[in-house]
Amino acid sequence: MVTEQMLSEMQLEPEVPELDLSWLNLDTEWGVQSAPGRKGLTLQQINDTIYGEIPAMAADHTARPRGAAAASQSPRMGYVIGEATETFSDSAALLYDEAVSRQWSSATDIPWDTLDELPEDIERAMAQLCTSLTEVEFIAGDVPGKWLPRIAADHYESGLFLMSQVMDEARHTDVFRKRALANGGGLLLQGGGGGLRQILEAEDFTQMSSMLHILGEGFVQSLFRLGELIAHNEAEKRIFRLAAQDESRHVAFGVTHLKYTLENDPDKAEEVHWTLDMFENTLVDPDQANPGLAGALVYLLGDGDVDEGWRLFWHVRRKQVLEYLHRLDVAGLSGRQETGRLHPALAAAIEEN
C-alpha cells in the first residue's frame, strides 16, 4: 500500500550529478572556418591549421580525432601502424570525397533491360569472365577491411578512403555476379587464387598496396577501360565504364601512397621491387593464374574467333604492362624494365607489339 509519505518521497527532485564542463575552456584551435567550394565542403577544405597537420608518427593509439584534446582515461584501440609512410597518401582525402560523390547502384544504374539473348558460347564466355571478376573483386574488398583496424586515427584520411574502397568492391562483386546470372547463364569455373592469397596475407601495408592497387587493380582497370571491345549491349558497357571509374581511384591511391612512402623513406624501394618480383611471377605462372579469366577474355575479344582473340589479347596485355610501368614511374620506382627486373613474360608483351 502506497502511503502519503512514500508519495512525497517519490516526488522529491533527484540529486543532480556534477557536470564536467572542462571542455568549455580547452586550449585547442578555435575559430577555424571553412567555406564550401565548387564541390561542397571537402576534407581538404577542413584540413587547416593543426587539423591538417599529419604527424609522421602517430603516437596516440586511442580513437582521439586528430586535433582534439586528449583524455587520459581513453583506452588504447590496438592500432599497430603509426608511421605515416606505412599507410598515408596525400590524395586520400580527395579520392574519398570523389568516391562518396560517385557511388552508383547495380540495381538501378545498369540498364538490365538491354540484355538480349546471345549465342551460347558468347554467353558462357561472359559468364566465365564475370565469375572470375566476382572472385577477384570479393578479395579486393576483403583486403582493405583487414587493414582498417590497424591504421591510426591520426591518419584517418587513408582509413576513410579504404572504407570507400570496400563499398566499391562490394558493388563490383554484386554487379558481376548479377551479370553472370541475369541473362540465363551462371557462375562457372573458380580461379587459381594464388595471387589473391598473396595479397590477402601481406603483413606490410605498402607491400599489400603495391600488389593490390598498383599491379592487380591496375591490370583490371586497363581491362575495364577496354570493356567496349567485349561488351554486347548497353548494360555490359555501363558496367565496365562505372567499374573502371571506381578502379581508377583505387589505383590512384596506390600510386600516391607509394610516392609518399618513397619520398619519405627511400630505403623502402628495394622492398617494393622484391614484392613486385614475386607478384609478377605469380600473375604469369600458369599453375597459379586464372585460366577462366584469360580464356574467357580471349574468346570475347575475338567474338568466338580464338586466333583473333589472342591477337587482341596481346594488345590488351601490352597496354596493361605499359600503364603499370608508367604508374611506377609516377610513384618514383623507375627502372624495372631497364634493369631486367620486369618479368620476362611481361617484357615480351611490350617487345612483341
* Residue 337 covered by a domain: yes
> Residue 217 class from Cβ within 10 Å (0-12 exposed, 13-18 middle, 19+ buried)?
buried
* Residue 13 covered by a domain: no
* Residue 19 covered by a domain: no
Residue with cell 631486367: 340
Looking at the chain, the whole-number percentage of residues with pLDDT higher than 90 is: 68
What pLDDT does residue 48 have?
79
* Residue 60 covered by a domain: no
As a whole number, mean pLDDT of residues 233-251 equals: 97
The model's confidence at residue 10, banded by pLDDT at 50, 70 and 90, is low
Instruction: Find the domain containing 334 and state its range.
Output: 91-99+116-351
pLDDT at 124 over 90: yes
Q: Higher model confidence: residue 3 or residue 123?
A: 123
* Cα 204 from Cα 87, distance rounded (Å): 9
Evaluate the CA torsion angle 233, 114, 133, 307 in order and state its sign: negative
What pLDDT does residue 291 have?
76
What pLDDT does residue 156 have?
94
The answer to whether 152 touches 64, Cβ cutoff 8 Å, is: no
| Average pLDDT over all residues of the chain | 91
Q: Higher model confidence: residue 128 or residue 227?
A: 128
* Residue 4 covered by a domain: no
Mean pLDDT check: name the lowest of 126-135, 219-228, 279-288, 309-318: 279-288
Between the alpha carbon of residue 174 and those of residues 11, 96, 105, 132, 138, the distances in Å are: 58, 21, 10, 13, 9
* Residue 68 covered by a domain: no
Which residue type is seen at 217?
E
CATH number of the domain where residue 339 is located? 1.10.620.20
Alpha helices in the chain (DSSP H): 4-10, 43-46, 84-87, 92-101, 120-147, 156-182, 194-201, 205-209, 217-225, 227-230, 234-264, 269-284, 291-301, 306-331, 344-351
Q: Higher model confidence: residue 11 or residue 310?
A: 310
The model's confidence at residue 15, banded by pLDDT at 50, 70 and 90, is confident
* Cα 259 from Cα 213, distance rounded (Å): 13
How many other CB atoms are there within 10 angstroms of residue 322's CB atom?
Answer: 15
Dump pLDDT digits (tens) for 197-221: 999 999 899 999 999 999 999 999 9
How many separate domains does the chain show? 1
The answer to whether 175 touches 103, Cβ cutoff 8 Å, is: no
pTM: 0.91
* Cα 136 from Cα 101, distance rounded (Å): 24
* Cα 144 from Cα 163, distance rounded (Å): 7
* Residue 29 covered by a domain: no
* Residue 51 covered by a domain: no
* Cα 48 from Cα 50, distance rounded (Å): 6
First to last CA, the chain: 97
Dump pLDDT digits (tens) for 24-78: 888 778 888 888 888 899 898 888 778 888 999 988 888 988 888 888 888 988 8
* Cα 74 from Cα 235, distance rounded (Å): 51
The model's confidence at residue 7, banded by pLDDT at 50, 70 and 90, is low
pLDDT at 287 over 70: no
Q: Which of 241, 259, 257, 245 is nearest to 99 (CA)?
A: 245
